[in-house]
Structure 1
């Protein structure tokens, strides 16, 4: 479902990603962990083309992301409208909830399906209400985001991404802005998506959750993937010395 080949990303003279290769199968859940500054979130931002890669290929469901290949083998950047259609296949949930404060919860969820996918309003509303029920917030459809707790806002943000019916979900430290009491309610929603077979790539500092929900753990440091293994193997006996040192500090 996701293929990343030789991904590089530079900001000025600073190289953040230094040749990342990663394949993620359909219905697989992969957790990226590692120290701050290792490039984890940059991988996700390149996968949604919020950051254009400096070099390398990203393909989602077989399609090259962000570019069209010409018969001569050259590439040109996709027009913004075409890029947005690609992004519609890739749901992303951020650390911050990014909800429109002047719109209701329901209005936040239906806007993108109507504007980007052309979903009829009645259909978008029905989908939104079903998703709110799914994340336990059906009773909050007419509320403003500012009246909700952090955990509730993040669950609305997840529902908003799901409303676009994405093929892939990217989740970037989605619990880092939450207080400890509301972390579990968000993690339970993500665990439910994993059980339903959603393809997900998540960056997290919640080691116990990564062990619980992921099919594979990817460990990054200094812009590179140093190790990838099933959770039981990674947490019991990490192979790379840097991974062992990281787990010694965080567990």
Structure 2
């Protein structure tokens, strides 16, 4: 069973078609890495998966449900924002920028979603938040504010915050691109652990080593279309398409 299924996804911004008929399937427990040059449509596709962007054509299903829409009589009708927010509860997203509340501690940032959105008792949510901070190696930073944390630490708090919502799917939009090189490893280590634990993940990344180590499938996009996809051992070591070879020759 596919946890995520995208068929013929198209997205336009004005007269520019950013996604041109993207098809993608992600099975439960699978890690898929989206690679490609800047402007290829990778981040836009990721945002479409949780309806932060509305697709113009095609369909996306997560766990069998059309994302952002309800189907009636063979036609799709866009959901109200309240219902879209309910759908998003099962989809965690980690952005390039950490988007933490600056006036809240690491612990408070992680507690916020479960209490406000899921209605968990604050004491229960705080206990689980401490466990999640320990899971990402930040147990001792629970009372620190974002400005007191390094970029890598802030991103790990952001991952803990997403996990606090008990997601069935995690989306990562270039989670290390805003980090200094020496901080990249600590974030990737957390993501590797999540993959080993069976978390379903779609990751937009330029970290080829991570894709080689963790991905079940690598999908290469250019100009809004899938050019090549397959196991990382094949796509990264023996790409069939010229565009893929050109890209890899620049980033490796």
TM above 0.5, yes or no, is yes
> Where does the alignment leave 5 or more consecutive residues of structure 2 unmatched?
none
TM-score normalized with structure 2 length: 0.98
Q: Deviations over 1:41-83 (max 9, x none)?
A: 001010111101111111001111101112x222221121211
- In the alignment of these two chains, the number of paired residues is 250
Q: Secondary structure at the residue paired with 1:76? A: strand
What's the CA shift for 1:241?
1.2
In the aligned structure 2, how far is the partner of 1:117 from the partner of 1:9? 31
Q: CA deviation at 1:240?
A: 1.0
5+ residue gaps, structure 1, are: none
1:44 matched to 2:43: no
- Whole-angstrom CA distance in 2 between matches of 1:110 and 1:97: 16
TM-superposed CA distance for 1:181, in Å, is 1.0
Kindly report which structure 2 residues correspond to 1:65-214, keeping only aligned pairs within 5 A, or say none.
Answer: 65-70=67-72, 72-214=73-215
Shift of 1:40: 0.5
Deviates more, 1:236-245 or 1:74-83: 74-83
In structure 1, distance between residues paired with 2:107 and 2:57 = 39
Which of 19, 24, 27 is the matching residue for 2:26? Answer: 24
Root mean square deviation of aligned Cα:
0.8
Question: Counterparts of 2:64 and 2:44 in 1: how far apart (Å)?
Answer: 21
The C-alpha deviation readout for 1:73-110, integer Å capped at 9, x for no partner, is 22221121211111111100000000000111111111
User: Equivalent residue for 1:230?
Assistant: 231
